[in-house]
Every structure is written in C-alpha cells, then in structure tokens.
Chain A
C-alpha cells in the first residue's frame, strides 16, 4: 500500500456541543493537513477550541460535520464512519500526550510503557525490553521501577511521551504537554518531541497557549473562538 501523502487531513471540521439554545460551536469549519515527520503547533487562548480539535482528530470526540482522514483512512465524514474500530485505530495509529500525564498510578514507569505495547499484541518480554530501551533513551533508565507519584513532572511527562511513541504511531497528538512544567522542563519536552517526530517520521500536532514553546515548529496555526485564523 502506498504511503498516504498526509498523516492527518482535516476538511471543514465543525464540532458543536449540545443542542438548541445551549449549543456551543467549539470548532468551526477547520481545515488542515499534516505530513509525516512534520511538526505543527496549534496556538490559541484558553477556550478557543484547541482541545476539541485535537480530540476530534484523536477519535475521542465525534465531529459534528466535516471529514477526518488519518494515514489515508477516512475515520469521520459527517460523524464517525460506521463500522470503524476506533480503539484499534487509536492503539495502532495514534499516540497521545496530555497536560496531565495520564499515567496509570499502580504501574511503574516501565509498565506504563509496556501496557501500550502489550495491547498491540507484543509479548510481555518483547514489550519489557522495548519499553526499557525507549525509557533509557529518554534518560529515564534509573526510573524504570518508579511509580508515577514518585516521578517529577518532567519525568512523568517523558514517560507519557515514551508511551505515546512506543508503537511508532503515524500521528502524535499533544495537548498542552508543557503546561504543567516549568519553562526549562517544558522546552526540553518540546525539543524531545521534535527530535522523535523526525526520527519516527510521525506527524506531530501540538496544542498550546504558550507561544514561547513553539520555536522551531514547521508550521503554526492560530485559533480564536473556534476558527483557524492563520
């Protein structure tokens, strides 16, 4: 199969929460494409619809109108495409990084990465060695058996990045990955994501309200009140 030209294609995406008088249009008519290996930032103030855009692309939030294509597969066209295995798409094609690291509290750093590999049918021993390798490359070799609560914010976010990258996904979606970190750690996390995106040829879509964090990105979209303005 041909490699799709774009890792992410979004066409006239609209998301309306609620119905009638209380309806909120969180994102209106958004269109964007991201190529594999490309690093794209979405910048906008709080409440502008960034998370909604990301979760709609991330198969978490059903779009009201418009089309979403991931790695050449149409996933939404006026709502989810019927018969689509969203979970399978998520585990095979997507990697998520969020503001709050979302690590599983009762698993160690190593196991948090392992679980992402095991649900993709890797044997536990393969999963273990690959997770250890990945974490070591992110300078967490000494933290493998630590539980999330014992990790610093920067360490936890690096474990979350390792988990998002574990399956070498085509698309990495990051929602304010640096918001809970200080500037120093935030910059490190961003630099890390950039280098990994290039290495894995993954498309990286980072959402943030902090323009200091988006240096060196290939493209930057600005959103305001649900509209992509540039």
Chain B
C-alpha cells in the first residue's frame, strides 16, 4: 500500500485543483521557452529561405533587417562579376499595413527578381509569380485565398500562390511580389506626392536667377530623374560557386567602398544577438521568476499538507513506522504533483501552441531541462516538509 497515493486519492479534489494550478504555471513557463525559440526561428526565417551566402548592404549599416539599407539595384552586375560569385539577385523589403475587412492587416512585402532568387521558398497552393506585374504570393498565415485582390498603393495585386511559414523578424507573415512591383509600391505609392515634390523643387529653382535657361532645363531634367528614381533595393544577395573563398569575395566587394558584404554567419549574429537579445533576456527573466514562484508554491503546498498530516505522521511514528515510510510519503507526493502538473502544462501547450499569435517552437531539449528543474524543485521543496515531519513527536498522536 502506498501512503502517498492513498492520501492523494482521499483528497483528490484538492490535489487535482492544485496540480491544475501548478500545471498552468508550468504551461506558461513552457510557452515562454517556445516563444523565445520562436523569436529565433522567426528572426532567421527570411535569412534561411533566401539561401544566399553573402548579403550586400549599404556601407556602415547592419542591414537590411536590423538597420535600413539602400543600394542601387544595378550593383548586382558588378557583384555577379566578382570571381567566386555564382549568382547575385536584388531584393527589397518593406512592412506594409493596410485595412482589410475593417482591421489593420500587417505583412512583410518581399520584392524579388523573377529570374533571380530570394522568392518564395515553396509553393503550397496555386503557382509562383509568372508575370512581371500585379501578381502576388502570400504566406499561409495571412489567410488569403488564391484569386483575392489586394490594393497596395495604386494597383490591385492578385494572389496567385500560397507559400509556407516565412515571417519577418518581427513575426509578420511575408508576401512576395516582383521587384519592379515592390519598387512601385515603395516609391510611387502616391503619384500626386511626387508631382507635388517636383513642382515645389521647380518653383524653388525658378527663384535661382544665376542659372542660364539651358542650365535650368538641365537641372530640371535631373530632378525629374532623382525623384523618379526607383531603382533602389535594400540588399543584393549573392551565392558563391562551390569552393569559392568567402573572405576573398567579401574583401573585394568591401574595397568598392560603398557596400558592406555580410556573410550569413554575421547576419545570423546581427539577427539573434542584436535584434532579439532584449526580448530573449526579458523572456528568460520571466521564466526564472515563474520558476521561483512555482518553487515557492510547491514548497508551501508540501509544507501545509505536512502540517495537515502531523497527526498521521505522529501516529505512524507511534506504531513504529520507519523514517523512510514517512519521508517516502512526502517526497512521493511532491514528485507526483510535479510530474502531473508538468504533464498538464505540457498537454495544454501542445493543444494550444498553434493558436498563439506568435510562433511557439517546442524543443525537446528545453522540455527535458524544464522537467528536470521541476523535479529538482519538488525534491527540494519536499525537504521543508520532511524536516518538519521528522521533528514530530509520537506523543503528538495522543491528544484528541
């Protein structure tokens, strides 16, 4: 006969409630870990889907994710010509927020060259973008049907395909359009604004009397060119030929003095160490606080349940029960509660984690470590009760 289990069976209502409470707490700890892993996975999602070796960005920036970066699109030709580079492709990124069905709808728009790379990593439904204009592939998470039209700026874009789990480092789902469309959306969002700009600059220039009519006309044309220039991208990604030396290629691009060639390894560091470090620490702190709270609660529960059992413990001592019988009862109860609470917490997260607004990644390692921590907390907590129990005198069984 197992005293721990018999006691639990007798007080099962209380035990179940306590375990559920603890289970919820542990569930939150598990989901915190999952959110952290999800943050890392999200941060690296685009990096991994593009599968480039080098990210060329504006000089002195940590672009294109951590900082903004603008480089001319045609630098791709120069990069392609660097020995060791197999292919180079320009990409533009922008976060878009529109109204959709009356609610703000955010996503991360990726513009890629249709005959280059950096496009959707997979097509789950429909097809890839085939026409140079007004077609769009969206991530499944956006919950948009194929054939639906979305208005961005001046044009409607038709969804032709659905891709998988690509998100921005902020967790917004990704959508793809051709680079030309992306540039249109980015720079020509409002033609009126551009016309206004041009008119304003023109009238300012008209005030400069020292220009000859020929000079003025020349400047005018250039202004139109500048304000209309949309051939800018955020990054040009490059793939190396097999066996090429990454450092040599980087060195060569760096020597042009206007660009920073970031290797995937460096980009990973920028994304994980830089961008999500604070969130990571915040979540880590929450996890520790929750674990401490759990430890205090478990200790309190075990201690009060020991106090409740003082008479039983005294009676057991009176009839000569060995210390191991008493210690076993308390320790087993504590461990059982920990294991059941863990199972409840884990089960709960397993059932719900897909519905979390942010991605939850449950890693076996994290779960195992947490399980061990819970067991250690339960063991240490039960020492408090055991210490109390061992001090109980058998004479305490005598009183009414």
Contact = CB atoms under 8 A, between A and B. Distances in A.
Contacts of B394: 60, 90
A39 to B, nearest CB: 22
A90 B318 contact: yes
Contacts of B9: 106
B interface majority secondary structure:
helix
Contact of A100 (B312, B321, B400): B400
A91 B321 contact: yes
Nearest to A94: B320
Given A106-B7, A124-B1, A87 B397 contact: no
B322 interface: yes
B398 A116 contact: no
Contacts of B398: 51, 55, 60, 98, 100, 102, 175
A119 B328 CA distance: 13
B322 A98 contact: no
Contacts of A105: 10, 312
B60 to A, nearest CB: 72
Interface string A134-168: 00000000000001000000000000000100000
B346 to A, nearest CB: 29
Nearest to A59: B394
Contacts of A147: 10
Interface residues of B, number: 25
B177 to A, nearest CB: 68
A211 interface: no
A189 B97 CA distance: 86
A107 B1 CA distance: 10
Nearest to B319: A116
Contact of A111 (B6, B11, B322, B325): B6
Interface string A85-107: 00111111010101110111111
B312 A61 contact: no
B6 A119 contact: no
B280 interface: no
A90 B319 contact: yes
B1 A96 contact: no
B212 to A, nearest CB: 105
Given A60-B394, A60-B395, A111-B6, A102 B322 contact: no
A115 B400 contact: no
Contact of A55 (B6, B316, B395): B395
Contacts of A102: 311, 315, 318, 397-398
Given A60-B394, A106-B11, A91 B400 contact: no
B165 interface: no
Given A114-B1, A119-B316, A127-B1, 19 more contacts: A51-B398, A55-B395, A60-B393, A60-B398, A61-B395, A87-B317, A91-B319, A94-B320, A96-B318, A98-B397, A104-B316, A106-B9, A107-B3, A111-B6, A115-B1, A119-B319, A119-B320, A119-B322, A120-B320
5 contacts: A90-B319, A100-B400, A105-B312, A111-B1, A116-B319
